[in-house]
Amino acid sequence: MQHNITANNRLFLSSEGAEIILGNTTTPEQLAIPLAPSSSTMFGPRGAYLISPTGPLWVSDTGHHRLLGWRNLPTTDNQPADWVIGQPDFHHEGQNAKGTPGKSTLSVPTGICKCGQGLAVADAWNHRVLIWHNIPEDSNVPADLVLGQANFIDNEPNRGSQQPEANTFHWPYGIFYHQGQLFVADTGNRRLLIWHQLPTENGQPADIVLGQPDMTSRNENGGGSPTAASMRWCHDITLWDGNLVVTDAGNNRVMIWSGIPTENNTPCAVVLGQKNFHCVELNQGVYFPNASSLSMPYGIDVAGEWLLVADTANSRLLGWKQPESILLLQGADADGVVGQDSFTSKSENRNFGLPTRQSLNWCYGIKVCDDIAVIADSGNNRVLIWRL
């Protein structure tokens, strides 16, 4: 059956669907059971990042506790990866390779991004961020720097304390780098941490915290009702025309600041997905979504004048075009939708069918490089390479 998007729901990705599909899920059985690790399979990937339009491509194969790397931009469906980090080979899995944490082990890796000349990965269940000074170009290249822990061996949340500090994490999920500044969504501590300069020492403390009044608080929504400053589960980060944008999945919204905050607990200027700063219900309190609602948005990035949001629990991507002022965005309708027939549809793979080149199933991540969007289509155990 051919699916058509209505004329007023503008597409921001090619109507032909994904150009390349990585991973190997084509049958109902493969969607129901974990996929055995290989060089061409994935299990619930949460993040993917294309370093340049020609590659390399790195994917957080979350369920297999590893990173998969392709030397060049893949050109065929199900193309096997060239490199693996986190496991001894392509056919093993397990948290920290079923051993103890080290410089090249992983436990539920999620967010991933280019970081200066190198690579940064949120190693969520090790409660740390790993940084490579140079983009890895081989299997099991050891990381050079760790944040959130004092060393590469420890992996307790908040370094074993009940409360966080400026140098600890609890389940960090998303990571973003821009012109020397590093941003980490410290999801389990319900906060966003900012380093003014790329850290140079293991366990280096952050400079700014958003979502909490100070570096030692971690209460959901700051211990009170939701506000323009509070967070529940922040997950991904980007900049849109110089303005900081963060997905707050637990509050079913996207937060947008005017510029990049320089003071702790700065409130955002507007939210998408909710009508005001105090409402936080998924799909604004009703079962079916609409053009202005969100349900657990995880991933986010910018493509030209478009802000693209992975509206995860609605199995769709939403796009907003840049307005004259971000203040006009408060509760605004999206301008485009991908993955569903309309703004009011939410079923996985469009009516619960098998995956297609145009369908999505709990998409957790989206990152854009030049005219290429890379989508972590987690529920389908695959990554989509889709042209803008």
The pLDDT, as a whole number, for residue 7 is 37
The CA distance from 66 to 382, in Å, is 14
The pLDDT, as a whole number, for residue 27 is 60
Amino acid identity, position 282? L
CB within 8 Å of 317: residues ≥ 6 apart: 12, 13, 308, 309, 310, 311, 337, 338, 339, 360, 363, 366, 375
In Å, how far are 63, 184, 269, 282 from 373, measured between CA atoms? 22, 22, 27, 26
Nearest CA to 166 among 131, 192, 139, 200? Answer: 192
Question: Is cis: bond before 323, omega within 30 of 0?
Answer: no
The CA distance from 284 to 23, in Å, is 34
In Å, how far are 204, 336, 337, 376 from 321, measured between CA atoms? 37, 9, 12, 22
Q: Is the pLDDT of residue 5 over 90?
A: no
Q: Give the Cα-Cα-Cα angle 26, 29, 34 (nearest 5 degrees).
A: 95
Q: What is the mean pLDDT of residues 71-82?
A: 97
In this structure, are residues 109 and 123 in contact, taking their beta carbons and an 8 Å threshold? Answer: yes
Q: Is the pLDDT of residue 1 over 50?
A: no
Half-sphere exposure of 80 (CA within 13 A, CB side): 9
The pLDDT, as a whole number, for residue 9 is 61
pLDDT band at 339; cut points 50, 70, 90: very high
Per-residue pLDDT tens digits for 152-190: 999 999 999 999 999 999 999 999 999 999 999 999 999
Per-residue pLDDT tens digits for 33-60: 668 999 999 999 999 999 999 999 999 9
- For the chain, the average pLDDT equals 95
- Residue 109 is encoded by which pair of tokens? 């890796």
Q: Is the pLDDT of residue 202 over 50?
A: yes
The CA distance from 342 to 347, in Å, is 11
- Residue 290 is encoded by which pair of tokens? 């609409």
What percentage of the chain carries pLDDT values higher than 70? 95
Write down the domain spans for the chain. Answer: 1-93+347-388
pLDDT band at 2; cut points 50, 70, 90: very low
The pLDDT, as a whole number, for residue 42 is 96
- Residue identified by tokens 């030209």 is 304
Torsional class of 373: left (φ above 0), alpha (ψ -120 to 50), beta (otherwise): beta
Q: What is the pTM of this model?
A: 0.96
In this structure, are residues 90 and 39 in contact, taking their beta carbons and an 8 Å threshold? Answer: yes
Nearest CA to 198 among 121, 124, 266, 145? Answer: 145
Residue spans of alpha helices (H) in 173-227: none
Per-residue pLDDT tens digits for 269-314: 999 999 999 999 999 999 999 999 999 999 999 999 999 999 999 9
Q: CA torsion sign, 135 to 138 to 142 to 148?
A: positive
Torsional class of 65: left (φ above 0), alpha (ψ -120 to 50), beta (otherwise): left
In Å, how far are 55, 83, 126, 247, 308 from 136, measured between CA atoms? 12, 9, 20, 28, 28
In this structure, are residues 360 and 316 in contact, taking their beta carbons and an 8 Å threshold? Answer: yes
Per-residue pLDDT tens digits for 97-150: 999 999 999 999 999 999 999 999 999 999 999 999 999 999 999 999 999 999
In this structure, are residues 245 and 238 in contact, taking their beta carbons and an 8 Å threshold? Answer: yes
Q: Is the pLDDT of residue 234 over 80?
A: yes
Q: Is the pLDDT of residue 204 over 60?
A: yes
Give long-range contacts, CB 8 A cutoff, 24+ apart: 359-363: 359/315, 360/315, 360/316, 360/317, 361/31, 361/315, 362/312, 362/313, 362/315, 363/298, 363/299, 363/310, 363/312, 363/315, 363/316, 363/317, 363/339
